[in-house]
Structure 1
Amino acid sequence: MKKLKFTLLALLILTSINIYSQQRTQVSKIKITGKVIEKVSKQALEYATITFTSGTSTKTIAGGITNPKGEFDVDITPGTYNVKIEFISFKPIIIKERKLDKGTNLGQITLEEDATQLNEVVIRAEKSSVEIKLDKKVYNVGQDMMVKGGTVSDVLDNVPSVSVDTEGNVSLRGSDNIRILIDGRPSYAVNIAEALRQLPADAIDKVEVITNPSARYDAEGGSGLINIILKKGKNQGFNGTFIASAGIPETYGLSANLNYKTEKLNYFTNLGFSHRTNQGGGKTNSQYFNEDGSIKNFLNEDRETERTRDGFNGRTGIEWTVAPNTFWTNAINYQKDNGENNDLINFNNFDADYNFTGSTYRLGSGENGGKNIEYTSNLIKNFNDKGHKLTIDGSISRNSEKDQSSITGSNNFNNTLNNQVQKQVQFQADYVLPIGEGSQFEAGYKGSFGDLDNQYYVLDELGVRIDNLSNTLEYKEYINALYTSYGFKVNKFSYLFGLRWEDTNIEVNLLDNNDFNTKKYNNFFPSAFVSYEISDQSNITTSYSKRLSRPRGRFMNPAVNYASNVNIFQGNPDLDPSLTNKFDFGYIKRWDKITFNTSAYFEDTKDVFSFVRSPTGDEVNGIPVIKSSPINLGKEQKYGFEFTLNYSPFKIWRLNSNFNFYNVKTTGENSYKDTQGNIIVQNLDNQANTWSARISSKLTLPYKIDWQLNGNYNGEQKTAQGKNLDQFSMNTAFSKDVLKDKATIAFNISDIFNSRIMRSYTYLDNQTSYGEMQWRKRQFNLSFTYRFNKPKGEKEKNPQPRNEDGGGEFPG
């Protein structure tokens, strides 16, 4: 009932604003509309500018930009105007001395490429690194020096509202309950964090952050979606980019983006090789207590890590213009990586008076590697130039990963072996039908079918398998989905309503234990979006969606992380999905030099996943063994607000900032049986506030040297079993164009103060621990970029309709 009241109140406010705005609207204002398209492909041009001037004056009286459908909508006072329509690298069109005394549709305006500009290598005004739209934020990777020579993980860590921890795990608005898409399709890599590290940043065109997705998208991803869009060149002829990079600690890489385009065929290739060395370390200092509360002893663990990775990433494809309105793209993606891990842990023991009593060590060294191959096909049929189209997508993939390690210590020796193979097939069809002016119907189907086989073994010093630590997991997943949505516009209100249905059939089998479990469920996922256009420069929206999160990856993998024999981690293959109701209220305002976007949000989740640390009942040399494992905790309620501010005080200086504050309340308990057969119940109720902030500054120095500086801060957060301390980091980069602007040299420093360290306290009944972990220390990187037949910062020509963002734009 409270949720219904909230929704009705939001709609009432919107309606009141509409009435009030209409009362204040001057009768003398008239509306001028039209659509801008590209001459050859007949496709809409987004961000084309329309300006109205009067007589011989060059001063702009009114103006606007086109939306993703190429449409514009400008309110002016009746009169006689010169109307100018222009777009970067296209010939502008000027309509002179047009008398406009009533609402007028200027019709379809066609722009033609300017051949004199296409043959020159010129520097154009850069598109803002961060574009803020009502339904998503779009981060343009090509303009960011921080990621030159880096990986996708480095890219995501610079995106507003997104953060990447030292282990490579991605979170959105402080939650890792998200879905990552690549070109609108889910990534099913066995280890998504490692897969993102292997993909070079230069292969990425842009990143879309969608905090409240509509019914068109997969229901999975309780806190939202992150869509990574790969580059596909559109410039005519043969063109491309080469990047070479090297850094300290030892890191180097080579990558190339090549493209050859004819009138009907577009060949594209992304290739990248990298060698990366990550040096890190940490510690865990624990204090143990007797049953009467007195101090029993102390244990200090000091850890040093070194991880090396050699990775190759290749992607090649062809886009065929079958007919002027039909496009077919086929591509093959291939990833291969291998590396070595070395973890050295020294255990120092102390008695109750903190007198040193002895030490042991544990050295883990191993090799790992993986291969991922995927074939994708995308067919787009445009029935007209008004958005009526059919899109069909298909993909098939196979991902494998193999890890083998040896663990030696003062008193023991073990070998571990982990083999994973995952296969995935997907098919999707989407149909879009515009109905009249400003209305659109959409429907589609998606099928996703996959299976995962995971074999994990732990062997003792004699090579004998330890049964209670070894297992074979078989995971099969079959998902069928149908959706429909309808969007329309009434005056300044835009509406989008949708409904998605998903049927899920999952089999989770532990073959060694003869433990077979089938999970079948189907759900409806409604979504609703309402937008009100206050003016050309400001809008407000309110939205609702129901989301689902299925446990994946490290959450489900029952393989034991055996690096420490007293602090271990193990996934839980019996996790159930969680369901989230999401509400969002947003406002966006644009000025000449400032764009401001803010939103308030509320999330109500049932069966939320949570990591819990529990004593197992075992001891090693008198030290209790603690296991960390995910469970379905119970209920979580999260509310907060965030804002993003983009400010360009001068032409040479641009500032981007983001602030997020939220409160999380969790209720639930964990009941389990330890190795001694005792039933343990842990109360995990918790409520906490936390906040995060980031700011990025880009300044052009003398001699055309660009300087970028980023600062990131994550505030302290209380947990049910302790607290995570605050974390601050800063990055900087310099770049200079050389060779007549055909090449760029960039130097960046990641984590200037070497302060990106995860720090936490854990409080259990018989133990208090303080821990630190840093997977990657400060890094220096130098890169060289060379472009041929491709202007720096030039917007791609001949845009063609894609299905990269997984959906259409907001109607109107």
Structure 2
Amino acid sequence: MTLYYKLIFNTFFIIFLSHLTFAQEQSVKVIGSLIEEDTKQPVPYATVAIYNSETKVIISGSTTDDLGKFNIPITNTNVYFEISFMGYKTKTITTFTITNGVIDLGTIQLASDSQALDEVIVTGEVSKTVFKLDKRVFNVGKDISSTGVSALEVLNNVPSVNVNIEGEVTLRGSGGVQILINGKPSVLADQSSNALGTITADMIESVEVITNPSAKYEASGTSGILNIILKKEDKKGWNGSISANTGIPDNHSIGGSLNRRTEKFNLFTQFGVGYRSLPRDTEATNRNLVNNETVYSNGEEFRNETFFNITLGTDYHLNKYNVFTLSGNFAYEIEDQPSETNFNHFDGNNLISRWVRNETTEATNPKWQYEFNWKKTFQNNEDHTFQLSALGRFFGKDQSSEFSDTTLEGDNVNSNQRTATEFQQSDYTFKADYVNPLNENYTLETGFQYVINDVGNDFEVQDLVGNNYVTNENLTNNFEWNQNVLGIYATGAYENDTWGIKAGLRIENTDLSTLLTNTNESSSKNFTNLFPTFHSSYKIGDNFSLQAGYSKRILRPRLWDLNPFFNIRNNFNINTGNPDLQPEFTHSYELTSIYKIGKASLSSSIYHRYTTDVVERVSTFQDNVTLSTPRNIGTNATIGFETNGKYSPSKWLTLTGDFNFNYFDRKGTFEDQVFDFTGNQWSTRLGSKIGLPADIDLEMTGNYRSGFKTVQGEQSGYAFLDLGLRKKIFKGKIVANLGVRDVFASRIQENYVNQPTFETYNFRQRGRFITFGISYGFGKGEAMTYSGRRR
């Protein structure tokens, strides 16, 4: 603690004296630069103290800038210099020369002092979780903020949150987590890049964990929300990283992030370029139980992509009460999708025909997005805020495919087809949120959101007839989809130190229209829905809390579930959309207990969900061809139990586990066929992170997902194991990662359809992926691997 208080005292005293020094006559300048002894990186914000050689009293000083440099005017040259920074050994300089009124101390190297740093960490403030009404708040203490790690490492210390070595974030064992920065979406929270690596632990004040969102958030929702609250500090300097990846199958990329924080601006940029290949093995069986004919197929598909992307943005702090954000992103993908599928057609045990179907597909995908955000904080209370944002996105696809069937044996099935796709999607989101804490106990929230989706998909199929390609009108369509959703919400909450209650109501109006221009078939829907939410909490102690919640949610049909285009890659197993599809509605009830036992944190929930108009893919069979189309099939009532935990018995070992079991009751009818049945499914996930000597971390994660019944058959279960190895060099400035996904190539998806007149079987497997990456972090940023995941 002596070193800690000495550094604080010296820093404040130097700041005070530096103002006096500037007011006096400047006769000599002291200059120099400071770097780390191990990494040769600049050391910003270190203390340079100047003492009187006779009295030993500090007379002047300053701190180093972003590049580790300093320039201090002095009038008394009978001095010595003491240079210090938290976690490094203090250096004293007593000999120097004066040349032309300048004392040049040159490049000074600071050696690390792990003992001093450990002393501060042990005696500093410890991070802890505070239970709030509808969320948990993880306050970041000095035990984490003093270590210089990235935001991903902070998230990995939050109960119920896990971050694997590749940077994938899960909440209570589920992916699809929405990450916010100061309550708003941000490119800094983009999980497809390494942007979170530029946010260091000492920038973060707290992390809010929201597992059951209130009416403030979209009714369509996510699996959970993590909101990172940054400290309100004036200056943080340069942060950034650059990395390179390679892998088997091909997964090669370079990427980087850069973040510059000043008193008024936070400037950030990201870039990435690379090439990846995503192979997939497939098998299918179509069995006609009426005439005993069977079609077998197996093949290998590829999605090869060359990709580029760049992001630029800035936060502008007009003053302490107003912050403006402007950012933009551009990405471009070049796709190549070759595939080969082998077919065998049998009548009983007799071969009718054997052929091979080859595909060559090329596509270009331009993408861009832009965002404007204004956040105003009122003077009476920092939690009294107004936030306005606008977000625009565009995605395009220009794709062409050629298919050829070549007969190998039996009846002639030679044929050629080709397709052309021109796809464009524009999305716009406008949002405003107002939060007013009326006093310490009561809070009101209100706001609105307006989302515009505009999509056009021009899809053409041509068959080779003679020497000419002729348009197949039965498979060709130009599909237009427009959806506008307006949401307005209000919530009111009361909360004291022990218990709280929060109620809210969200109203959403959906205006949806679809049009098939070639046949002039149109469909339009306009509906308004109420989405009430209710939350209550009771804190029994600092380490135990109960939370209860109810919400009504909606799952609107996705574009590809509505678009009646035909996928003819395998023309015996065709998927198509349904423009008449209705949205699902779910009533969700949840009772959750959150508790800590020593070094373990646990969360358990009992939940019940009732869903109407459940969307299921239904298969029909004709001429040995399976056609799969999404349909609204009845209701699903689910009751389940979920528990997850994290246990860190020591600094070098962390164990995580998730378990989810549910029992469901399905009821529904489609075309006079009754789909009433009951079933259950469960999944579990066990993970461990082991700290090995020489700054090496080993991560192992095992998953199992059980099989379950479907409306027409069953989905099989599977287990798989992922491994990761990470080596830190120069205190994390350089990081090397080795990852193996699906070590035993056991992540196999199998689907069976068993009906009175036909049976089908579908098999898909991605296989084993091995990746290696090396990253370099500069400034205060930690090295983070740019994974090159699909955006």
Flag whether TM exceeds 0.5 (same fold).
yes
Q: Deviations over 1:763-812 (max 9, x none)?
A: 122222332111x2211111101011125499xxxxxxxxxxxxxxxxxx
In 2, distance between residues paired with 1:327 and 1:138?
A: 29
Matched, 1:200 2:206: no
Residues 175-214 of structure 1: pairs in structure 2 closer than 5 A: 199-200=192-193, 211-214=211-214
Matched, 1:361 2:382: no
> Do the aligned partners of residues 416 and 229 (structure 1) sit closer, same or farther apart at CA in structure 2, a change above 3 Å counting?
farther
- Cα pair 2:633 2:670 within 8 Å, conserved: yes
In 1, distance between residues paired with 2:343 and 2:537?
A: 59
In 1, distance between residues paired with 2:652 and 2:589?
A: 38
Provide the secondary structure at the position in 2 that maps to 1:286. Answer: strand
- Cα pair 1:204 1:230 within 8 Å, conserved: no
Amino acid at match of 2:591: F
Residues 246-645 of structure 1: pairs in structure 2 closer than 5 A: 246-290=246-290, 296-352=292-348, 354-384=349-379, 385-410=381-406, 411-461=414-464, 462-490=468-496, 492-615=498-621, 617=622, 619=623, 624-645=624-645
Match of 1:759 in 2: 750
In 2, distance between residues paired with 1:496 and 1:584?
A: 15
Match of 1:93 in 2: none
Amino acid at match of 2:142: F
Amino acid at match of 2:680: N
Q: Deviations over 1:738-786 (max 9, x none)?
A: 2453101111111100111111221122222332111x22111111010
In 2, distance between residues paired with 1:209 and 1:345?
A: 46
In 1, distance between residues paired with 2:542 and 2:298?
A: 58
Q: What is the deviation of 1:253?
A: 0.8
In 2, distance between residues paired with 1:225 and 1:122?
A: 24
Q: Deviations over 1:405-441 (max 9, x none)?
A: 1111132111111221112222111111001112211
Amino acid at match of 1:146: E
Residues 14-33 of structure 1: pairs in structure 2 closer than 5 A: none
Residues 67-86 of structure 1: pairs in structure 2 closer than 5 A: 67=130
Match of 2:65 in 1: none
Match of 1:162 in 2: 174
Q: Deviations over 1:94-116 (max 9, x none)?
A: xxxxxxxxxxxxxxxxxxxxxxx
In 2, distance between residues paired with 1:201 and 1:765?
A: 52
Amino acid at match of 1:645: G
Provide the secondary structure at the position in 2 that maps to 1:258. Answer: strand
Q: What is the deviation of 1:574?
A: 1.6
Amino acid at match of 1:575: L
- Cα pair 1:542 1:586 within 8 Å, conserved: yes
Amino acid at match of 1:513: T
Provide the secondary structure at the position in 2 that maps to 1:551. Answer: coil
Q: What is the deviation of 1:363?
A: 1.4
Residues 640-789 of structure 1: pairs in structure 2 closer than 5 A: 640-671=640-671, 681-774=672-765, 776-789=766-779
- Cα pair 2:682 2:705 within 8 Å, conserved: yes
In 1, distance between residues paired with 2:397 and 2:486?
A: 27
Alignment coverage as a number of residue pairs = 637
> Do the aligned partners of residues 209 and 351 (structure 1) sit closer, same or farther apart at CA in structure 2, a change above 3 Å counting?
farther
- Cα pair 1:205 1:231 within 8 Å, conserved: no
> Do the aligned partners of residues 126 and 501 (structure 1) sit closer, same or farther apart at CA in structure 2, a change above 3 Å counting?
closer
In 2, distance between residues paired with 1:563 and 1:541?
A: 49
Residues 13-92 of structure 1: pairs in structure 2 closer than 5 A: 65=128, 67=130, 87=142
Provide the secondary structure at the position in 1 that maps to 2:569. Answer: coil
Unpaired stretches in structure 2, ≥5 consecutive residues: 1-11, 13-120, 200-206, 407-413, 785-791
Percent of aligned pairs with the same amino acid: 29
Amino acid at match of 2:725: F
Provide the secondary structure at the position in 2 that maps to 1:309. Answer: strand
Q: What is the deviation of 1:333?
A: 1.7
Q: What is the deviation of 1:285?
A: 2.7
Q: Deviations over 1:144-188 (max 9, x none)?
A: 3234xxxxxxx25x554326xxxxxx6x9xxxxxx999997899x
In 1, distance between residues paired with 2:443 and 2:653?
A: 40
- Cα pair 1:232 1:259 within 8 Å, conserved: no
Q: What is the deviation of 1:627?
A: 0.4
Amino acid at match of 1:87: K
- Cα pair 1:449 1:479 within 8 Å, conserved: yes
Amino acid at match of 1:605: T
In 2, distance between residues paired with 1:202 and 1:427?
A: 24
- Cα pair 1:346 1:361 within 8 Å, conserved: yes
> Do the aligned partners of residues 302 and 66 (structure 1) sit closer, same or farther apart at CA in structure 2, a change above 3 Å counting?
closer
Residues 53-132 of structure 1: pairs in structure 2 closer than 5 A: 65=128, 67=130, 87=142, 127=154, 129=156, 131-132=158-159
Q: What is the deviation of 1:130?
A: 5.8
> Do the aligned partners of residues 279 and 202 (structure 1) sit closer, same or farther apart at CA in structure 2, a change above 3 Å counting?
farther
Q: What is the deviation of 1:138?
A: 4.5
In 2, distance between residues paired with 1:697 and 1:722?
A: 36
Amino acid at match of 1:162: S
Q: What is the deviation of 1:339?
A: 1.1
Match of 1:30 in 2: none
> Do the aligned partners of residues 123 and 526 (structure 1) sit closer, same or farther apart at CA in structure 2, a change above 3 Å counting?
closer
> Do the aligned partners of residues 308 and 208 (structure 1) sit closer, same or farther apart at CA in structure 2, a change above 3 Å counting?
farther
Q: What is the deviation of 1:249?
A: 1.3
In 1, distance between residues paired with 2:674 and 2:401?
A: 36
> Do the aligned partners of residues 568 and 186 (structure 1) sit closer, same or farther apart at CA in structure 2, a change above 3 Å counting?
farther
Q: What is the deviation of 1:612?
A: 0.7
> Do the aligned partners of residues 783 and 180 (structure 1) sit closer, same or farther apart at CA in structure 2, a change above 3 Å counting?
closer
In 2, distance between residues paired with 1:753 and 1:265?
A: 48
> Do the aligned partners of residues 59 and 709 (structure 1) sit closer, same or farther apart at CA in structure 2, a change above 3 Å counting?
closer
Q: Deviations over 1:349-394 (max 9, x none)?
A: 2332x34443112112201221221110111111134411111111
Q: Deviations over 1:194-221 (max 9, x none)?
A: xx99x33556899998553210011124
Larger Rg, first or second structure (1 or 2): 2
Provide the secondary structure at the position in 1 that maps to 2:694. Answer: helix
Provide the secondary structure at the position in 2 that maps to 1:306. Answer: strand
Amino acid at match of 2:248: I
Amino acid at match of 2:158: E
User: Which stretch has the larger CA shift, 527-536 or 203-212?
Assistant: 203-212
In 2, distance between residues paired with 1:180 and 1:414?
A: 44
Q: Deviations over 1:538-571 (max 9, x none)?
A: 1111110111111113211222110111110001
